[in-house]
Structure 1
Amino acid sequence: MFKKIVTLVLLLSSMFMSLVHAAEKITVGLIATTSIEDTRKRWQPLLDDLAKSTGTEVTAAISSNYSDIVAGLKENKIQIAWLSSKVALDAVEDGKATVFAQMVKSDGSRGYNSVIIASSKSALTSFDQVSAKPGVYIFADGDKKSTSGYLVPAYYLFSKNKIDPAKLFKKVIIGNHQANFSSILRGEADVATFNSEEMDRLKKEAPDQLSKVRVIWTSPLIPNDPILYRKDMSPALKTRVEDFFVNYGKQKQAQAVLKDILNLSGFQRSTDAQLKPIADLTLFSLLRDNLNNPSLTDAQKQKKFDEVSARFGKLSFVLEASRIK
């Protein structure tokens, strides 16, 4: 009799856990650096494997607009997201999400570079040639929420060299990496932001297209993009999700999937601490914009300086605390 009761309890427990897993659903937010259709095609095999591994229904929310993915995380319409470091910082500061993994490239590297490209047919071979001729060239800049498309060149190329893009270029247009690359090929821009990840992809998939541009500036290394999940996901689901990502890539089929996504070899465990360098860049950028804002009085600038410094002081503490954990 006792054995029958134990068997019944185990059966009911198994049924209950199956119902819990079935009730849980995951929407993964993805940034479309190319087209939405292309991004979905590349990620779908991984999403299918995630569903099988975690026993949950998995769908994708894909957008070229970073704000869409962040809003989805805040509103719990998205539970897991791949974001640029700059946007991930916003999500972490909001308090709803946290970093749990970081992309690892196929060569084992934990970072990539922002680059400035020009047409290979142009005479431009360095950015010094551009800065020597104010008002001559058209610049295709990235979305302000993009790490490699905007934040990194804004700091390392423009701020550190005391260059104001609005004064240097004849015209500035805004787009994602694909749009910027196309603007160079079509002759709609003279120089544009891009990154080494997209260059690696084109080298493999469209070398003829890549040969039509040249790199005229390269940034220091940027930490690879993070993967985040909402903090209020159930602990059991968090564990299953983390285990899936850090172990994905150990089988041949998974290796091919990762390589096709962004030339990846896998993911490593990570925390919000990986965003600290990006937080420092963002702080500098905000303080620079405040200092150079002609519409503010000295008193207003000081007030803004104090507010931004206090905000990033708190954020820096949160990021460092995650390292200790």
Structure 2
Amino acid sequence: MFRKIIPLALLVGSLFISFAQAAEKLTVGLIATTSIEDTRKRWQPLLDDLAKSTGTEVTAAVSTNYNDILAGLKNNTIQIAWLSSKVALDAVEDGKATVFAQMVKSDGSRGYNSVLIVSNKSALTSFEQIVAKPGVFIFADGDKKSTSGHLVPAYYLFAKNKADPAKLFKKVLSGNHQANFSSILRGEADVATFNTEEMDRLKKEAPDQLDKIRVIWSSPLIPNDPIMYRKDLSPAMKTRIEDFFANYGKQKANAETLKNILNLSGFQRSNDAQLKPVADLALFSVLRENLNNPSLTDAQKQKKFDEVSARFGKLSFALEIARIK
């Protein structure tokens, strides 16, 4: 009786693939818009379900610092990440990660708004009142890598009104959404950036706190945040991750988990093309900073302009290709 002989190379290759699949673990990077503990608690049920669905150990890396999550995604200590669109652009440009899903809100919307808030006791009712009194008010701005906290208001609120926050306000603070909200409640700032996602959360969980602030400006719609993974994950793992997120929320058991995260109903499949509107804003922001930089000569400004234009031209082309695909 003859036995089937398996080539040694094939056997070793098979064992290597099996070992690699078994050893593949996932760390999900999350931005803490409230506290680290609170964010971890909200996402943990989803992470547990992701582990069951993929048959893989899943852990979370939570930080209030966008750079921490971005660095983890780049150096492979993080394989999946929830990032703001602005930071996601950096990850796409680095070439290590790509967008595979987009958040969908409970009302089915795929976007949200950046807002400017004040205390409900404030006499301020419009941005024009602030512009009329330069050097009087204290402003709590968002992290510079935050889409709704900084990038969107920097363009739609300040640039379009030809206003420079550094000159307009008596003092400029910087923090995440929770810090900005708290600065208004404590009277440490007169006006702050915030967003409608956080307002929806407060409406459900702390309506008494939400009643203490008032919105005096709202931006155009911002595309909902992307979910990314590293490009070098195995094809099989990518498929399991994509299918998990695309189907999560279709079962009633997941509904409460999604609402607790950011009042979500689920996730839709997506790609890098969803970042194109934010890329245009980022380009404008960088060009404006260079143009207004007093330490640069006209020649240096022109050189910077050419470099930035070429860089974003290449990025925009890549995003457009993603849309066509």
Q: TM-score range by the shorter chain?
A: over 0.9
Structure 1 partner of 2:143: 143
Q: How does 1:182-261 map to 2 (within 5 A)?
A: 182-261=182-261
Structure 1 counterpart of 2:211, which letter?
A: S
- Aligned equivalents of 2:32, 2:321: Cα separation in 1: 31
In the alignment, what sits opposite 2:180?
Answer: 180
Partner of 1:87: 87
User: Which amino acid in 1 is paired with 2:175?
Assistant: G
Tell me what 1:116 maps to. 116
Query: For the residues of structure 2 that align with 1:32 and 1:93, how far apart are their CA atoms?
Result: 23
Paired AA for residue 131 in structure 2 = S
Could you tell me which residue of structure 1 aligns to residue 30 of structure 2?
A: 30
User: How far does residue 293 in structure 1 lie from its aligned partner after superposition?
Assistant: 1.2
Counterpart contact for 1:141–1:174, Cα < 8 Å: yes
Report deviation, 1:22.
2.7
Q: Deviations over 1:108-154 (max 9, x none)?
A: 00000000000001111111111110000000000100000000000
Partner of 1:167: 167
CA shift digits 1:159-199 (9 cap, x unpaired)? 01100000100000000000000000000000000000000
1:100 counterpart = 2:97: no
What amino acid is aligned across from residue 224 of structure 2 in structure 1?
A: N
Equivalent AA in structure 2 for residue 249 of structure 1? G
Q: 2:69 & 2:156 partners in 1: Cα distance?
A: 27
* TM-score (normalizing by structure 1): 0.95
Give, in whole Å, the separation in 1 of the partners of 2:29 and 2:212: 32
Matched, 1:130 2:125: no
Query: Identity over aligned residues, as a percent?
Result: 85
Aligned to 2:98, the other structure's residue is in SS state strand
- In the other structure, the counterpart of 2:276 is 276
Matched, 1:293 2:293: yes
Q: Tell me the amino acid that sits aligned with residue 177 of structure 2.
A: H
Equivalent pair of 1:115/1:219 in contact (CA under 8 Å): yes
What SS does the aligned partner of 2:253 have? helix
User: Partners in 2 of 1:298 and 1:36 — Cα distance?
Assistant: 44
Moved more, 109-118 or 284-293: 284-293
* CA distance in structure 2 between the partners assigned to 1:247 and 1:16 by the alignment: 31
Alignment of 1:43-54 (within 5 A): 43-54=43-54
- Residue 220 of structure 2: SS of its match in structure 1? coil
Task: Please give the alpha-carbon distance, in whole angstroms, between the structure 2 residues aligned to 1:265 and 1:141.
Answer: 29
Q: Give the aligned residue type for 1:300.
A: Q
How far off is 1:301 after superposition? Answer: 0.7
1:16 deviation in Å? 8.5
Q: CA RMSD in A?
A: 2.0
SS class of match (1:202): helix
Distance 1:47 1:171 in 2: 40
- The equivalent of 1:324 in structure 2 is 324
- 1:50 and 1:133, CA in 2 relative to 1: closer, same or farther beyond 3 A? same
CA distance in 2: counterparts of 1:260 and 1:240, whole angstroms: 24
Aligned positions, number: 320
Partner of 1:295, secondary structure, is coil
TM-aligned CA distance change 1:319 to 1:28, over 3 Å? same
* TM-score of the superposed pair, with normalisation by structure 2: 0.95
The Cα offsets for residues 257-281 of structure 1, whole Å up to 9 and x where unpaired, read as 0011000000001010000000000
C-alpha distance in 1 between matches for 2:104 and 2:265: 6
Q: Deviations over 1:33-78 (max 9, x none)?
A: 0000000000000000000000100000000000000000110000
Match of 2:136, SS state, is coil
**Aligned mates of 1:292, 1:20 — CA distance in 2:** 51
The code of the aligned residue for 2:248 comes to: Y
- Structure 1 segments (4+ residues) deviating >2 Å: 13-22
Partner Cα distance (1:283, 1:268) in 2? 27
CA contact (8 A) 1:21 1:55 kept: no
Whole-angstrom CA distance in 2 between matches of 1:313 and 1:20: 38
| CA–CA separation in structure 1 for the residues paired with 2:132 and 2:93 | 39
The unaligned stretches of length 5 or more in structure 1 are: 6-12
SS across alignment from 1:98: strand
